[in-house]
Amino acid sequence: MDIVYTDDHALHAPALELHRGAFVPAHEGTHRLDKLLAGLSRAGLTNFITPEPCDMSAIARVHTADYLHFLQTAWSRWQAAGYSGDVLPMSYPHRPRRAEPPIDIDGAAGYFCSSSDTVITQTSWHGLKAVADCAVAAADSVSASGGAAFTLTRPPGHHAGADYMSGYCLLNYAAIAAQRLRDKGAGKVAILDVDFHHGNGTQDIFYARDDVFFTSIHGEPDHHFPYFWGHEDEVGEGAGKGFTANYPLPAGTPYPVWREALEHALTRIQDFGADALVVSLGVDTYEQDPISTFKLTTPDYPDYGAKIGTLNLPTVFIMEGGYGVPEIGDNTAGVLTGFMGG
């Protein structure tokens, strides 16, 4: 399996985040990739590929022009306004919001954001673009080979919508990969989100479409971020009605219960008739992860990787969450080795 990776992910490296009323060291940082790389190495997953820069049009297929302009200019505008530190929104619009973002950068930052744990640093855009290159390269590789690729992305992406950042996520790499697979000839693409947190941005992007099926297994939204998405009755709208499936599960969910939800999701993907698959691979379902409440253990990850492999589809894995524990590397490698058959 190709591992698509760039050291430039480190260009997005917020030092602090606002968490439960206090500024704390960022849960989502470059240290996560050190643990992931170590786990992949122990599993012998070392076929690393460095991507070529992709054209911005591949990203613009998913994100709006106004939002991409904001991401590219936010830091310089923040500095020009005399603000210090990272770009951290302080004002958020109550929905429905105005059709146009405010001119002032503080207002614009809030307009394009839905959670205060997501910030922009001086070099964020360059890192985000480099990671988007990885997602596009992985989709292109899978389109050409019919095989599988893993994109070692950070920050995660599945909370980012077409025109907003949220939950550490600024570009939606799973959505970029799915759209790229469509543009390269896949008639139907399925997205399977197995992160502990609902992939609200991905769902939002494809909610009214019938060519991309989205399904997510996650913590109950009444109790877990992102809170406002991920209920069972969210099934799509318009042409997309019936092409979204959510499996919210309670705190303390053990693997046998989680696995049953996965099996339902995989059946829905088979019934959809997908030509290709994108997996939003979050391993924050692990029992010791600091910001989730599921009870999966390390031996569970190869098992569910093997179940995903039974779909026998060209597959792009996109790294999402997994925080604060060294096991995220072994758990991620477990999914990939299980998918590959051992």
Which residues are known catalytic residues? 159
- Tokens standing for residue 229: 């998405």
Closest CA to 163 of 69, 77, 241: 69
- Of 64, 40, 181, 46, the C-alpha closest to 112 is 64
Handedness of CA 54, 60, 61, 67 (dihedral sign): positive
**d(C-alpha 195, C-alpha 203), whole Å:** 13
| Contacts for 318 with CB less than 8 Å, ≥ 6 apart | 135, 138, 151, 153, 157, 158, 173, 174, 177, 278, 279, 280, 281
Cβ atoms < 10 Å from Cβ of 103:
8
* Residue matched to tokens 């990969």: 177
231's tokens = 């209920």
CA 328 → CA 274, 282, 320, distances in Å?
29, 9, 11
